[in-house]
A and B are shown apart, each in its own frame.
Chain A
C-alpha cells in the first residue's frame, strides 16, 4: 500500500527534443508546470496526476515521461532507472519561458476596404437614462406644472417637433429615453454591436466634441450641436413656441 501511495504522488519529469518547443503552446496555460532547457532537450516538471496523462502532453512528438525517485529517472512502470536526472538546471514557469510575440504586419492584406455597418443591439446591462425625447405637444402641459427647481437641473432642445431633454434626474414623461456613452446618446437598452466602435465613431463624426450624437434604433444618427442646448425653463419653452 505504502508503495502505491508513493507512486501516486510521483514527481514527473518530461523530456522533449528541442525542436518541439513551438508545440508547447498548447500547454502554455498550465501555470504549475516549469521548464528548463539543456543543450538540445527541454525538461518539464511539476505536472499533476491528471496533466501527466492528458492528451495535450501525450500528443507531443518525441516526449518521454519519467518519474523521479532518488535522483533517478524511471520510465513508466519500469523497474530499472533509464538515466540520472541532471542537476543545476534553471527552471522557470512556462509562461515566462515561452514568450509571446505579435505577428508582423501583413502588408499583403487586401481587406482594408471592407466596411462594418453600425448596428445597435440589445444589451442587458442597466444604464441610467440621461436624455428623453418626446413630442413637445404631449409633454408641454406637464412641464408647465413641474416645479422650477426640477427644471433647473435639466437642459433641452427641439429636434423637429420633439423635445429632447437632457440631465438627471429626468422627469417622468412618456417618451424614448437615452443613455450616455462617450458623447453618444443611445436608446435605452441598446448598445453598439461592437463596443470599441464608440470612441472611433466619436473621432470620425464628432472630432471636436461639439455635438451630441443621438442614435436611432436603425443605426443612423443625428448630430445635435451642444450650443443649441439650452437650460429648461418655462420662459425658454414659451419663447421657443413663439418662434415656431
Chain B
C-alpha cells in the first residue's frame, strides 16, 4: 500500500484542524503529490465559495504555490540544515496577483502564513526568510488581515474595485477585528457604511476615522 504523501497530509491536517506536522528532513514534492493537493484544495475551495456572493473560479497554480510556500516555511521552522542557499528555489519571486481567483485560491493555505511568520520571527528576527515571506503577504494582503504585516497599498478604492473582493475584505477585517486595517480611512468609511446604526453591536471597539478631504 502506498503511503500518503507528507505534503498532502500536512495540508489537509492544516486545513481541517489548524495543526501542522514538521518532518525531520526537508522533502521535495513530486508531481503526483502536487496533483493530489490541487484536487484537495479545489474541493475545499468549492466549499468555501459557497459563502461567496458570486461565482469565482479556482486558480490551481496560485493555490499550489501558496500550499508549497506554507509547507516549506513551516518545515523551515525546525529544519535549517543547508537551507539558506536553496532559499530562492523554495521561495521563488512572485508577481502581484492579477485576479480575484488567484487571491482567493492562494488564501486557502496562505491564511496560515502570518502565524508561521510570527513563530519564525520569535526564533530569529534576522532570518533571511522573513523578508521573503513578508513580501508575499504584502502582495497577497487579503491573507495577511489580522497580522502586523504592513500593506503597501496607497489607493484602496481602486485596489478593492471589485464588489465581491471588497465585501470579502471587509468581512475578513471584521472577523479578525483588525484595528490596523480598519484604521485606514477608506476601509473605515466602508465599515461604518456597512454597519450603519448597529455599529456597536458588531464592533464596539472600532474607532471612527475622519477622512481628510
Contacts and interface: CB of A to CB of B under 8 A. Distances in A.
Interface of A: 144-145, 147-150, 153, 169, 233-235, 238-239
Interface in B150-185: 163, 167, 170-171, 174-175
A149 B202 contact: yes
A238 B50 contact: yes
A150 B163 CA distance: 17
B171 A147 contact: yes
B194 A147 contact: yes
B201 interface: yes
A33 to B, nearest CB: 56
A145 B52 CA distance: 9
A112 B84 CA distance: 92
Contact of A169 (B47, B51, B52, B198): B198
Given A234-B51, A239-B50, A149 B167 contact: no
Main secondary structure of the interface of A (DSSP, over half): helix
Contacts of A153: 201
A100 to B, nearest CB: 49
B97 interface: no
Contacts of B201: 153, 169
Given A149-B171, A149-B202, A235-B47, 15 more contacts: A144-B53, A145-B163, A145-B167, A147-B171, A147-B174, A148-B51, A148-B171, A148-B175, A149-B175, A150-B202, A153-B201, A169-B201, A234-B50, A234-B52, A234-B53
A149 B174 contact: yes
Main secondary structure of the interface of B (DSSP, over half): helix
B15 to A, nearest CB: 16
A148 B195 CA distance: 11
A124 B63 CA distance: 58
A231 to B, nearest CB: 12
Contacts of A149: 171, 174-175, 202
19 contacts: A144-B53, A144-B54, A145-B53, A145-B163, A145-B167, A147-B194, A148-B51, A148-B175, A149-B174, A149-B175, A150-B194, A150-B202, A153-B201, A169-B201, A233-B51, A234-B53, A235-B50, A235-B51, A239-B50
Give the top 5 A-B pairs by smallest Cβ distance, nearest first: A235-B50, A144-B53, A148-B171, A149-B174, A169-B198
A188 B70 CA distance: 53
Interface string B31-64: 0000000000000000100111110000000000
A203 B105 CA distance: 53
A173 to B, nearest CB: 14
